Amino acid sequence: MAPRAVWKGQLRLSLVSIPVEVYPATTSGPRVSFRQIHEPSGKRVRYEKTVKGVGPVDSDDIVKGYETEDGDYILIDPEEIDALKVETSKTLELVQFVESGEIPPIYFERPYYIVPQDELAEDAYRVVRDALRGEGKTALCQITLRGKEHLAAIRPCGDGLLLETLRYEEEIRSADPLFSEIADEEADEELLDLARELIGRKTKPFDASAFSDSYHKALKEMIEAKRKDKSTSRVDTGDDDGGDDGDNVVDLMSALRKSVDASEGKSGGKGGRKSSGRKSSGSSKSKSSSGGSRSKKKAS
């Protein structure tokens, strides 16, 4: 399945603008996913968005809140965030160029491919790519992705261009507190020669296919062995595929209110008058003990 573009806009070099699209250059790869199971009942653990005193809430009723120093929250609608327009949301302005290899590896974060949107954009795209390659330079710009403005580096990559988001300086921790206690002494020359020899013997061209995730492989083998073992503990959660009936999520306030409402309904229907919640609970004890008493036992 082809990846979807995460950004569309203009790659700009001075007065030259090139329509481009940005695609993720990596994928999460294979992984083993686990579900959380409540061992005593064998049911899946579910999480539900709730409000104290209200119970479960609809996602459409949720907005963002920024906590102030006074403990208050400034409410912000998603539309207000979407309305924020910055130039980097639509334009990759090449503002500076640095020597390739000058940026410390610790700054690099995530890679993306930049491709021209159409054939008309290819000529200008190739000019930028070949100029960067010929000069041995990397371009710096900023790009807005997923609600955050990133510093980014652009450099040639095969027949195209690679964009790599960079961390800002304030996001990099200083190594001095960690490395400062390492003694500033030169290594023993004889040991150094042996280390150089070992490095030389193991030096070869980089081939990523020569490496694999051994932990993932071992995990899959362990699961397969347990699957074949008839003595392995198993549970049937009773869940529908993708269903979220909330059986494992009990909101105490909601459950108690439903019990009271049910008691009022039964009492009102029998006696022809509206009763208070407390009286209804008492008068309907014989009929609703299986629901009300059970709820009270859970609450205790």
What CA–CA distance (Å, rounded) separates 23 from 26? 9
List C-alpha distances in Å: 117 to 124, 157, 170, 238, 264: 12, 17, 34, 48, 65
Q: Which residue has the tokens 């070099």?
A: 13
Helix (H, G, I), strand (E, B) or coil at 240: coil
Interhelix angle 252-271/285-299, nearest 10 degrees: 170
Report strand pairing: 160-166 vs 108-116: antiparallel
Q: Which residue has the tokens 């940005």?
A: 22
Fold topology of 7-29+84-169? Ku70; Chain: A; Domain 2 (2.40.290)
- Predicted confidence pLDDT, tens digits, the chain (300 residues): 678 999 999 999 999 999 999 999 998 877 788 888 888 888 888 888 899 899 899 888 888 898 999 889 998 887 887 777 677 889 999 999 999 999 999 999 999 999 999 999 999 999 999 999 999 999 999 999 988 899 999 999 999 999 999 999 999 999 999 999 999 999 999 999 999 999 999 999 999 889 887 888 888 888 888 888 888 777 776 765 554 444 444 455 555 566 667 666 655 554 444 444 444 444 444 444 444 444 444 444
142-145 own/partner pairs: CB under 8 Å, 24+ apart: 142/88, 142/92, 142/93, 142/95, 143/7, 143/22, 143/88, 143/92, 144/7, 144/86, 144/88, 144/89, 145/6, 145/7
pTM: 0.67
On the CB side of 252, CA atoms within 13 Å amount to 6
